[in-house]
Structure 1
Amino acid sequence: MEKTYEVTGMHCQSCVETLTNALSELSEVDSAAVTLNPPRARVEGSAIDSNRIAGAVASAGDYSAEEVSGETPASTSATDAKSMLSTYYPLILIVTFLLAGCAILQLRSGAWSWMDYMSDFMGGFFVVFGFFKLLDLRGFTDAFQTYDVIASRFRGYGFAYPFIEVALGFAYLLHFELFWTNAITLIVMSIGSVGVLRSLLQKRKIQCACLGTVFDLPMTTVTLVEDVSMAAMAAIMLAYGAY
């Protein structure tokens, strides 16, 4: 059985973590997923008692919960695919535009270079993703702290991370000191992959902070593929001496 509740009183990712922990402690709850936008909590279990859910939410702080749906029927592969496409549409759109735009630049140059193509793509990727993170820097940091191995210990790294991304992005676009740019990217994205992989192995249902808090993206293997792909491209350019 799965039930969904509208939650009021949440303001940041810390609230999400607090409520997730409070709901997970209930014996009848097998799993709990809380999101900030929309402000909802989804709980799964064999016998969900809405009164106990509301009580757990209220005891966690200045929050309240109201049931908005009953038992959710089993989903089909078609609806799952549609839901996934809808969830990741902003990410798909951004990556598609970046790939197409970088291809146009290469075609216009008259001499296609895969190294330049990857450099331009990574530059655009970091600048765009850093931009979305900076729209709500505090919110991003709250979300990033929940899974990143460095930010979880040093909050300042979470605040600095979007600026690191933007700096790397401009360095790639300008082809500036690409050896060091690729080396730093390889280190940063590899470390990021560790935190994402750990969260996936723990089956934690948390928000992915790759696009900041503007879009409510869940933490899935898509996030891991994103980090690993960027690290891999940096490694390839280092291996082929593209600097």
Structure 2
Amino acid sequence: MSKTASLHRMVMDKHVCPYGIKAKHLLESKGFAVDDHPLTSRGQTDAFKEKHDVSTTPQVFIGRERIGGYDALRKHFGEQVKDDSETSYRPVLAVFAVALALAVSLSIGLLDGFSVRTAEWFVAFSMAMLAMLKLQDVEQFSTMFVGYDLLGRRFVPYAYAYPYLEALAAVLMAGRLLPWISIPVAAFIGTIGAASVFYAVYVQKREIKCACVGGGSNVPLGFVSLSENLAMMGMAAWMLMRNLG
């Protein structure tokens, strides 16, 4: 006997509910035959909500039981539901993984093997992608940043400039260009950043979110941000020794 589920979802000319599409896919992946009921107008949608005393769509029914929306359906099947307040290192791991993959790919494709250049590219690409995440919403980033950065607290414009400075240093270091700009910039923001994180986390023992992957992240301030800043300091020191040697 086949399993059947009823799905009521918004399907309008200018809006097709993405959660309705995902709910239909999830049901079908679980072996359900889906009795699909598109709600094709605002009037239909409002009437459905009033009839079933619900505030959102889609709504899934299995047998006589109303399961609810997409998240409720995932819970019904024992699948994980994202909690927006939950700590997640996924954005940071994604940055480092892609940066490493790019560095390895370029090393194999252009250098025929690994070298010091591989490590340089890895650090530079990581810096560039972290800066890009911050630049998505500089206002939100700066708000989080001034909460713990020692210089940002005293000179707010620095919080707005930080992502641009990090991106500038990363791009120049990736190509070994204009070291007289990239080295002092990376050394300056890396040193202040490392001192700020160390003081906030290990001296004050504060538990706050890190702005390292942008203002909307749920990464706790600590090892990740400290590593980012130490890497910038190390890169600046290496580039300085290389240019003086």
Q: Which residue of 2 aligns with 1:211?
A: 213
Cα shift readout 1:97-155 (whole Å, capped 9, x = no counterpart): 11121011011123546442233223322221111111111111010001111111111
Q: Which residue of 1 aligns with 2:178?
A: 177
Matches within 5 A, 1:189-204: 189-200=190-201, 201-204=203-206
The structure-2 alpha-carbon separation of the partners of 1:118 and 1:174, relative to structure 1 and needing over 3 Å to count, comes to: same
CA RMSD of aligned residues (A): 2.3
CA–CA distance in structure 2, aligned partners of residues 205 and 147 of structure 1: 11
Structure 2: any 5+ residue segments left out of the alignment? Answer: 1-86
Cα shift readout 1:148-205 (whole Å, capped 9, x = no counterpart): 1111111100011111111112212332113541232122201110000000121111
What is the identity percentage for the equivalent residue pairs of Structure 1 and Structure 2?
Answer: 26
Q: Which residue of 1 aligns with 2:230?
A: 228
CA–CA distance in structure 2, aligned partners of residues 220 and 97 of structure 1: 22
CA–CA distance in structure 2, aligned partners of residues 222 and 131 of structure 1: 17
CA–CA distance in structure 1, aligned partners of residues 126 and 183 of structure 2: 14
- Given that 2:169 and 2:181 are in contact with CA atoms closer than 8 Å, whether structure 1 keeps it comes out as no
Normalised to the residue count of structure 2, the TM-score between the two structures is 0.59
The structure-2 alpha-carbon separation of the partners of 1:117 and 1:166, relative to structure 1 and needing over 3 Å to count, comes to: same
Normalised to the residue count of structure 1, the TM-score between the two structures is 0.59
Q: Which residue of 2 aligns with 1:107?
A: 108
Give the letter aligned to residue 233 of structure 1. M
- Given that 1:186 and 1:231 are in contact with CA atoms closer than 8 Å, whether structure 2 keeps it comes out as yes
Q: Which residue of 1 aligns with 2:53?
A: none
CA–CA distance in structure 1, aligned partners of residues 140 and 149 of structure 2: 14
Matches within 5 A, 1:112-127: 112=113, 114-127=115-128
- Given that 1:179 and 1:242 are in contact with CA atoms closer than 8 Å, whether structure 2 keeps it comes out as no
CA–CA distance in structure 1, aligned partners of residues 183 and 130 of structure 2: 17
